[in-house]
Amino acid sequence: MKNTQAGRPSITSFAWLSIAAAALIICLKSIAYWLTGSVGLLSDALESVVNLVAACGALAALTVAARPADDEHPYGHGKAEYFSSAFEGGMIFVAALAIAATAIERLLHAQPLEQLGTGLFISAIATVINWIVARILFAAGRRHHSIALEADAHHLMTDVWTSIGVLIGVGAVTATGWQWLDPVVALLVAANIVRTGFTLVRRSASGLMDEALPAAEQQVLLEILDRYRAQGIQYHAVRTRRAGARRFIDFHVLVPGAWTVQEGHDLLERIEAEIRARLANTTILAHLEPIEDAASWNDVTLDREGSEKQVR
């Protein structure tokens, strides 16, 4: 059945917000590091540099993803967002390596920290800004079903927790005088952001591999289809996947062979309308078959089962 994809509002403004915030936070955290000499604060600043690069990648991906379907990309460009998410995960790994290398060097050659009060105050301001922007991106990502914005939000929240850990670590140095706490906290930060990077890369790979919709969404789909079984109608060969913000669903509906084309068409229109009402941004391909024909039950896999002579 034909499905006209609804226009998706532009969400690149959120990527620009992330870029602006990352640039401001880099400045603030760099000043904090310059004042204190803390390798923990340096690791925090380095992660913000990664945030800036990743936000630029998200902007590029969202710009491509917003393009309408064309002759070369009839299903749209939504999967571009997965490249952004994977890129961001990769950048997180790079940041973790840089942080770990710096922390190990400082662990071997400890240096006293200076002007901690001012440095910590500046870093705290940057952390609050990051948290606010992350919450905005989370809300926008979920509302617009954008994995690129969600990945950016996850990265920023990682930065928030990183900053909190660094603030606690540097504060502990002030209280105890144990200079080794600063690089140890930086190493813990590196380990934490590696975990986040792995999660982002795994999620991107799942999207590029056409992973099925989440179980909750599949349950919604099956509930709708099951209601029609009471009318003597069957279905099978249900397949789902997601490409960026858009869902793709296809299935076969088996109806009495005596039905007219109009009756079959009207049924599929009702089913599709119900699905789209529950699952937004969905492209549906429904195939109609006569329930009495044995061949109708053979095409339950990607490659039709049975011999060529069964093909109608």
Quote the CA–CA distance of 84 and 89 in Å, as a whole number.
9
> In this structure, which topology does domain 12-208 adopt according to CATH?
Alpha-lytic protease prodomain-like (1.20.1510)
Asked if domains 12-208 and 215-310 share a fold, the reply is: no
Quote the CA–CA distance of 118 and 29 in Å, as a whole number.
11
pLDDT for residue 77? 73
pLDDT higher than 80, residue 23:
yes
| Sign of the CA dihedral with 298 first, then 303, 308, and 312 last | positive
Mean pLDDT of 165-172: 74
Quote the CA–CA distance of 139 and 127 in Å, as a whole number.
19
Q: Please answer whether residues 174 and 116 qualify as being in contact, where contact means their C-beta atoms are separated by less than 8 angstroms.
A: yes
8 or 131, higher pLDDT: 131
pLDDT per position as a tens digit, 8-19: 446 778 888 888
Domain chopping of the chain, boundaries: 12-208, 215-310
**Tell me, what DSSP letter sits at residue 210?**
T
CATH class of 215-310: alpha beta
Task: Tell me the pLDDT of the chain averaged across its residues.
Answer: 78
Q: What would the two tokens of residue 266 be?
A: 């009207």
pLDDT per position as a tens digit, 232-288: 889 998 999 887 667 899 999 999 989 999 999 999 999 999 999 999 888 899 999
pTM over 0.75: no
Q: How far is CA 263 from CA 49, 106, 221, 269, 291, in A?
A: 59, 75, 22, 10, 14
